[in-house]
Amino acid sequence: MKHGRSSLPTPTSTNSFWHTEPNEFLLGHQTTAELPEEADIVIVGSGISGANAARYLIEDGRADGLKIVMLEAREACWGATGRNGGHCQPLLFDRGPDVADFELQNVSAVKSYIEKHSVPCEWRSVTGCRSFWTAETMEAAEKEVARLHSAAPEIGKLVTIVKDKEEMEKHRVNPAAKGITLSQNAASLWPYKLVTFILEQLVKEGKLNLQTKTPVTEITSSDNSHTIHTPRGKITSPTVILATNGYTSALLPQFADLIVPVRAQMSALIPPANSTILPDSHGMVGAPGQPFWNDDYLIQRPYSDVPNPAGHLMFGGGRGDGAYPTVCVSDDSVLDEKIAAYLRRALLTVLKLDGSTQGLEELKAAKEWTGIMGYSRDDHPWVGKVPGKEGLWLCGGYTGHGMPNGTLCGRAIAKLVLGNREGKELDEMQAEMVGKAELPASYLITEERIEKARLFPIVERQNDPVIV
């Protein structure tokens, strides 16, 4: 089976709810009328990773005076970050204590920035509730939680297993579930508003040249310089940061089997009349009618003190119910009506929604849309220098889990880039970063990791076990 090299972002896309209140300053923004011919650093992509790479570069005194240009194929934050589920939830027992610790740091960093700058992005601290709908997945979760309690007791204290039916109902989960886990330090937010706030500040400070509607079609390299090709002209730079996530392989073909585009579907659903806000964010593993590997996800918008306070249920997933393929797909202009129908119905089954639900068979959708994730072959993001490409850096491959990773991955790439400009050895910088718990070792890009990752099943098979 072919690996899923991505296309470039499609010129048109489905309409994300998160874009219904756009940042007017950034719409169609091009800081300079003409594309600069050269820059010290070029960042490709304006989502959570690109925005934070730019922010941490600019906040570091070593970048003073550097010309930093950001290129975005569409409007600012119009890719995955502007289309996701609105979660900022660390997965504490899925990938090891060092990753859990890093994701907790991420949530804290995002929260601190929002509080410091009073960012109006509907940040709400919640408990992350994950329900498991088969005995096998529940048993696997219990084993992982036990392993976490043993390996990292302090982090383990943040995770609780609940199998009592009455207790599950307190978290609005249908007691037909086999059990739930409750994880502390989770949050929900309007991700587009956070990222565009960051970008607007950097542009208005005169520190960032943002060029929207400027897709990068190719990057060619010679000696210690890269030429970035766009329909509006070329720009050369010794340093390029790809914050392109699911679209990475369009510009970096050698990563086609390592970061694979996967289309996900979201909805903004009108809650039942007279209902109250959910106390938790939710993930549903193998929900009824879905394959065991399927993950659904849900947050709820506020009912008050925000623009349009309608309490929308922001619900995504349902890939196992789709009529169209999702893996190796990078076109988010398509909506799968079978998934849309599942999303409108499922919450009335998996949750115990309050309010007027009598006789209600499905919820009304205010918006339905799709977005492109970047699935990593070894289930970890890729952060660092691209082997054999001096001055070319990568930050992406979040496997649908970018919000509690992208901020500090952006910081890491900024530190590596600036250290490299000073002549520091890459190995030494990486070792120091891992030693200070600033980045998990499993996130670093190395030749050895690439070789090991290619021993894993291809992403297509991992996400659909019937593929051979």
Architecture of domain 119-189+261-376: 2-Layer Sandwich (3.30)
- Work out the average pLDDT over 307-333: 95
Per-domain boundaries in the chain: 17-82+192-259+378-462, 119-189+261-376
The residues pairing with 342 across neighbouring beta strands, listed in sequence order, are none
Around Cβ 334, how many Cβ atoms within 10 Å? 13
pLDDT above 60 (res 402) = yes
Task: State the pTM of this model.
Answer: 0.96
CA 462/CA 319 separation, integer angstroms: 14
How do residues 279-298 score in pLDDT, each as one tens digit? 999 999 999 989 988 999 99
- What pLDDT does residue 236 have? 98
CA 79/CA 25 separation, integer angstroms: 18
Radius of gyration of the chain (CA): 21
CA 51/CA 410 separation, integer angstroms: 8
Around Cβ 418, how many Cβ atoms within 10 Å? 20
CA 299/CA 278 separation, integer angstroms: 8
What are the CA-CA distances from residue 112 to residues 106, 119, 407 (Å)?
10, 10, 12
pLDDT above 80 (res 28) = yes
Find out whether 433 and 279 touch, Cβ atoms under 8 Å.
Answer: no
- What pLDDT does residue 461 have? 72
Report the CATH number of the 17-82+192-259+378-462 domain.
3.50.50.60
Q: Torsion over CA of 171, 172, 178 and 179, rounded to 10 degrees?
A: -10
Find out whether 440 and 106 touch, Cβ atoms under 8 Å.
Answer: no
305 exposure class (CB count in 10 Å sphere: 0-12, 13-18, 19+): exposed
How do residues 181-233 score in pLDDT, each as one tens digit? 999 999 999 999 999 999 999 999 999 999 999 999 999 998 889 999 999 99
Averaged pLDDT score across all residues of the chain: 96
Numbers of helices and strands, H then E, in the chain: 12, 17
pLDDT above 80 (res 58) = yes
